[in-house]
Structure 1
Amino acid sequence: MRRVLVVAMSGAGKTTAARRIAARLDLPFHEMDVLALGPEWSTRPALESDIAAILREPAWIFDSWGYPQVRDAMWAAADTVVWLDYPRRVVLPRLLRRSLLRSWRREPLFGGNVERWRDWFASAHPLWFAVRTFRQRRTYLAARTARENHLRIVRLRSPAAFETWLRELG
């Protein structure tokens, strides 16, 4: 396990999980949103070239299933997918707390962006997007993991299952 994608719905804890796996396996960790997002939530022009350079490395871990323009390359280069397949009752409260805290604290995020209170009224807000696309994204990940025969798939259905798996890892 040297080239790992940690995939899940927004708010499931991909970044935290990927960092912990990276520390455990001594893998370079790459936060996808840092690589992908520029000012005003725009896509960074260097996204594709930056990802291509990382994928050429012998070892890495990403906290993402990949933005559309790099997704296929990431999945083709990976050897393992860790899928945090947590239920809505776990993911949505986490996402709600995260977004509330970010809005309250006006925390600078990737590309200098900030979650603002007015953003809560937009359908693109992370919480509303997750509510709207939860089933569709889970269906996509189930189909994708089923057809990627070259990958080791680790599907974890609860935070407790992740903790057990991580303890047993390496």
Structure 2
Amino acid sequence: MNRINVVGTSASGKSTFARKLAKKLSLEYIELDDLLWMDDWQETPNPEFFRKIENAIAQAEQNPDKQGYVIDGNYSRTTQMTWKKIDTVIWLDLPFAVNLFQSVKRALSRAISKQPFWKNSNNTESFSRMLSQDSIILWMIKTHQKNRKKYQDRMQNPDYAHLQFIHLTSKKQIKQFLEQL
């Protein structure tokens, strides 16, 4: 387990978990959101986004101090590229109520702190954005069930039989998994 993709719906704790996992296993951490989002909530065009991902993976593979990488994120358009080299998918599949609580808590905290989401962009949360059609909370509500179905299907898909799937369904399981490494 040295080329890992951590997936899950928004506010499932992917980034926090992936950072801890990468540190614990001495692996490079690759955050897809940071590669995708440019300033002022502009998305990097796909060709450039894919190049950024390829470069991040190549750098991680060439780093003599690291023996692999942890990719944080799950954009469907990147699956063909990212899943051809990984060996493990860790799916953080928390119950809807837990995700909703975490989503609201995180959005409120970010709206108050105005801290940028990612190091390579100026994107921040605001109370008006939180209550708009672009709300990350609304996004989580709309995509939670769809994401569950997507990963359930992928776990059964023969195209991904080469991957080890680890399905964590509670905060307790997530904590225990990290502690047992």
Please report the TM-score for the alignment, with normalisation by the length of structure 1. Answer: 0.92
Q: CA deviation at 1:124?
A: 2.4
8 Å CA contact 1:48, 1:69 repeated in 2: no
Q: 2:50 — aligned with what?
A: 48
Deviations 1:78-106 (A, max 9, x none): 11001111101211101100000111122
Please report the TM-score for the alignment, with normalisation by the length of structure 2. Answer: 0.87
Q: 1:63 — aligned with what?
A: 72
Mapped pair 1:32 → 2:7: no
Deviations 1:142-166 (A, max 9, x none): 1112211010101011011111122
Q: CA deviation at 1:50?
A: 1.3
Q: CA deviation at 1:129?
A: 0.9
Q: 1:137 aligns with which of 124, 132, 147?
A: 147
Q: How many residues align?
A: 168
Write out aligned runs for 1:71-82 (5 A): 71-82=79-90
Q: Work out the CA distance in 2 between the residues paired with 1:42 and 1:71.
A: 21
Deviations 1:92-130 (A, max 9, x none): 101100000111122222311111111123222110111
State the AA in 2 paired with 1:168: Q
Q: 1:164 — aligned with what?
A: 176
Q: 2:115 — aligned with what?
A: 107
The secondary structure found in structure 2 opposite 1:72 is helix
